[in-house]
Structure 1
Amino acid sequence: MTPSRRTVLAAGFGLSLHFAALPALAAADRRKLVMVICRGGLDGLSLAPPVGDPDYAALRGAFGFESTALKLDDRFALHPALASVHALARSGQARLVPAVATPDRARSHFEAQDVLESGGAVVYGTVSGWLNRAVGVLAARAPVSALSVGPTAPLVLRGPAPAASWTPGFAVDSTARLPTLLQDLYKDDPLLGPALAQGLATEDMARAAMADEAMAPTSPGGGAKAGVESARRLGQTTAGLMREAGGPRIVALSLDGFDTHANQPAQLAPRLAGLDALLDGLHEGLAEDWRDTVVVVVTEFGRTARINGTGGTDHGTASTALVLGGGLKGGGIIGDWPGLRTAALFENRDLAPTLDMRSLFKGVLADQFGLERAVLDTTVFPDSAGARLLTGLT
């Protein structure tokens, strides 16, 4: 018997697959959605530096990327590690969603991630994920399948609707969450906070040096280059699974390590390089299906506008999301930019939110899968009628 592409991919990637029974995909409907969660609170002002904002340089000082950022227009650029995303943006296949936030304002990882993934108006308001509820609505109309990538299914895909799971071995960095938790624990400690940051930076440099000198770029644990290559392969393999007949049309995966309380530049650059490689792998692996796919990159909250005393940033409010895909409609940023002047900051410390995250998610589901406003306002995102429907993205 000739092995399927899924079997070949699994054997070559060293992964374990746990697929539920997947219904056949109607050939006429190829629309797909990938949700990437950057856990830890990704700093949107570094992801997409607003280099044209007159108050940016004074707020960020040494964190500024005026000379190295990858320019998009007169106001915004991308972090230097996001070269692939920049190329997609310049070709109209990636757009920024600045100043976006969930309804939660507590700045707690656990609470913010719950609201982000449950789609509720309040913390712990529902036990299922909004993407799972969307799958349930879609499955009642036509066959659809979903996949979670990682050791455990994220809340966003948990619930009564069936979803497959895939554990991709070494490509998902299961150790990244521990430094995140430790940084959060020691962020206010004048001794342990800087010491931990210095140790993490040293470890990153050592891994990079090992990768440069000896490590094969595809070996697990082989340093910074190996991590980027693993992320690219993760994107390619995920795309390959999505392209199979009956493969998942909806995918959720997570990247850890974005909680940068100290020494942020050294910690953030390799994480963003991994994100860039993942997205590039998806783009390459989806091939012609890329035009029917939307990828949404989000985080639970942003970070403080000002740098703290340990060269990092603390838990904030609004961040920046990314929307990518081959069928995006043209335009600049999605949403509104509030500016960084002191009077415009939220509680005098954070980028102020101008767009409800649920509005972005609603728009993607409406554009990609034709879900109606009434269903989105009640079933998928309970009690969310006040969050406008942001359509016209694709």
Structure 2
Amino acid sequence: MTSPVISRRLLLAAGASITFLGGGAYADETLNRRKLVVVICRGGMDGLSVSPPIGDPDYANLRGSIAIPASAALKLDDTFALHPSLTTVHRLALAGQARIAPAIASPDRARSHFEAQDVLESGASKVYGVSSGFLNRTLASLAPQRKVAGLSVGATAPLILRGKAPAGSWSPGAEANDLPRLPGLLTDLYAGDPMLAAALAQGLQTEAMAASAEQGQMAGGGMTPGLGRAALASSRKLGTTLAGFMTQPNGPQIAAISLDGFDTHANQNNALPPRLAGMDALLDGLSSGLGDEWKNTVVVCATEFGRTAKVNGTGGTDHGTGSTALVLGGALKKGGIIGDWPTLKQQALFENRDTAPTLDMRGLFKGVLADHMGVDRRALEGDVFPDSAGAAPVVGLV
């Protein structure tokens, strides 16, 4: 497929706002073509639903009513599958262009959205350890050798690309808003008040049930509950537009985009599928829009923390620890899961409730940045991920 050429004039005419910085010719044409996209799934994406371990004997009992049936899951191997909404990811996985890291986490263990997102995006070993993002420091570390442009997509530039190094930003306009993030933010604020926390949980359950009822006809017609054709088309267009930026001459090689709404405290069977379908549509638009440049691309979809292994009393899950990261791209090597699987045996759960992380998120990004983007390993240990000597780079992914 030919990658679309998207002009600033066209974007401005569509109501979008854009700022773009960077570009330039590099001596190494191979590195010049390599691209990295980081998709931040805000709210605590449930890894046990993204990549359900249907072959783990403890999975079904822990998950109860929210367990993904083996008959509906998109099988990867004897242990793991993908959520039924992730059809594009599954297609890419069968082609050797998508893999899962099913037990991954940042160094943070507080289960607070504010703190966990800060640690994920800053790349620090502790909350508020640094004020810039690790992708911005990546741009700065590459600047002496070659000029690499960065682009953030969203209503506001995420921390991951904020800092001293210049980076562009693009807002899709009215389509972007922070409303999906509000329940998670309120949950953090009310965590210390039992009365308010209980009232909020009940309200979220009622709202989720109402949304499910309104979208019931869509589900009956074979569509993803809660996400109509227009929303899916919008998500796919967003991916295609980002691909258009990245395939322009001197376009960004590094991009970050935020997706909201993964905080599924209640009625998860109806709340989560539309979010995953939207992410899948974005990845479809991005991979097809990049065309031949997909072979030079790595995409990482990551979240600030996972969810509890056991379903809660409102058909949802609460803030957890280990989750799943998706690693995709035409530059990816074929292989199995990334990292180790700790199993869901009670004694193997983190603090008797969460998927136990076996892989440090910083190690995953260290490997991708070193082997794919050519970042010096000394810079990774020093500037990009300070105090991270214990997080060994995951090598051999590309």
**Among candidates 303, 307, 314, match of residue 299 of structure 1:** 303
Q: Would you say the 8 A contact 1:183–1:261 is kept in 2?
A: no
CA–CA separation in structure 2 for the residues paired with 1:212 and 1:228:
17
Q: Which moved more, 1:56-65 or 1:242-251?
A: 56-65
- SS of the residue corresponding to residue 369 of structure 1 reads coil
Q: Which residue of 2 aligns with 1:199?
A: 207
Deviation at 1:327, TM superposition (A): 1.8
Q: CA deviation at 1:180?
A: 3.1
C-alpha distance in 2, partners of 1:169/1:99?
35
- AA aligned to 2:66 is F
Correspondences of 1:191-340 after superposition (within 5 Å): 191-206=199-214, 209=217, 224-340=228-344
Which residue of 2 is the match for residue 63 of structure 1? Answer: 66
The total of aligned residue pairs comes to 383
Tell which deviates more after alignment, 194-203 or 57-66.
194-203
Q: 1:210-233, CA deviations, whole angstroms, 9 ceiling, x for partnerless residues?
A: 8999xxxxxxxx963222111100
Matches for 1:88-167 after TM superposition, within 5 Å: 88-167=92-171
3-state SS in 2 of match to 1:117:
helix
| Contact 1:144-1:248 within 8 A present in 2 as well | yes
SS in 2 for 1:112: helix
Whether the 8 Å CA contact 2:6–2:241 is kept in 1: the answer is no
Deviates more, 1:279-288 or 1:6-15: 6-15
- Identify if the C-alpha distance between structure 1 residues 265 and 109 changes in structure 2 by more than 3 Å, giving closer, same or farther: same
Counterpart CA distance in 2 for 1:161 and 1:334 is: 31
Match of 1:17 in 2: 18
**Partner AA of 1:48 in structure 2:** S
1:40 aligned onto 2:48:
no
The answer to whether the 8 A contact 2:122-2:132 is kept is yes
- Listed one character per residue, the Cα deviations across residues 137-162 of structure 1 (whole Å, up to 9, x for unaligned) are 11221121000001111111011000
Kindly provide the amino acid, as one letter, of the partner of residue 303 in structure 1.
R
For 1:192 and 1:380, locate their aligned partners in 2 and report how far apart those are by CA, in whole Å. Answer: 38
- Give 1:76's aligned residue: 80
1:88-115 deviation line (CA, Å, top 9, x unaligned): 0011000001110011111111111111
SS in 1 for 2:382: helix
Match of 2:110, SS?
Answer: coil
Q: Which residue is equivalent to 2:353?
A: 349
Q: TM-score, normalised by structure 1?
A: 0.92
Q: Distance in 1 between matches of 2:216 and 2:248?
A: 35
Give the partner amino acid of 2:204.
Answer: L
Distance in 2 of aligned mates of 1:344 and 1:241: 44
Whether the 8 Å CA contact 2:22–2:167 is kept in 1: the answer is no
Q: Secondary structure, in 3 states, of the residue corresponding to 2:372?
A: helix
Work out whether 1:386 is the aligned partner of 2:390: yes
**Amino acid corresponding to residue 351 of structure 2 in structure 1:** E
Deviations 1:114-137 (A, max 9, x none): 110111111111011111000111
Alpha-carbon distance between aligned partners in 1 of 2:64 and 2:148, rounded to the nearest angstrom: 48
Distance 2:347 2:178 in 1: 40
SS at match of 2:256: strand
Match of 1:369 among 367, 370, 373: 373
Decide whether the 8 Å contact of 1:177 with 1:256 is kept in 2. yes
Q: SS of 1:105's equivalent?
A: coil
1:360 to 360, 364, 367: 364
Q: Which segment is superposed worse, 195-204 or 250-259?
A: 195-204
* CA-CA distance at 1:386 after TM superposition: 1.0
Contact persistence 2:113–2:184 (CA under 8 A) = no
TM-score with structure 2 length normalisation? 0.91
The structural deviation recorded for 1:8 is: 5.8
Judge conservation of contact 1:24–1:245 (CA < 8 Å) in 2: no
| SS of residue paired to 1:258 | coil
3-state SS, counterpart of residue 100 of structure 1 = strand
Letter in 1 for 2:57: P
Aligned identity (percent) is 60
Alpha-carbon deviation of 1:169?
Answer: 1.7
1:105 is matched by which residue type in structure 2?
Answer: R
Q: Indicate the SS of the match to 2:257.
A: strand
Larger CA deviation: 190-199 vs 83-92: 190-199
8 Å Cα contact 1:171-1:227 kept in structure 2? no
Q: Judge conservation of contact 2:103–2:356 (CA < 8 Å) in 1.
A: yes
Q: 1:200 is matched by which residue type in structure 2?
A: A
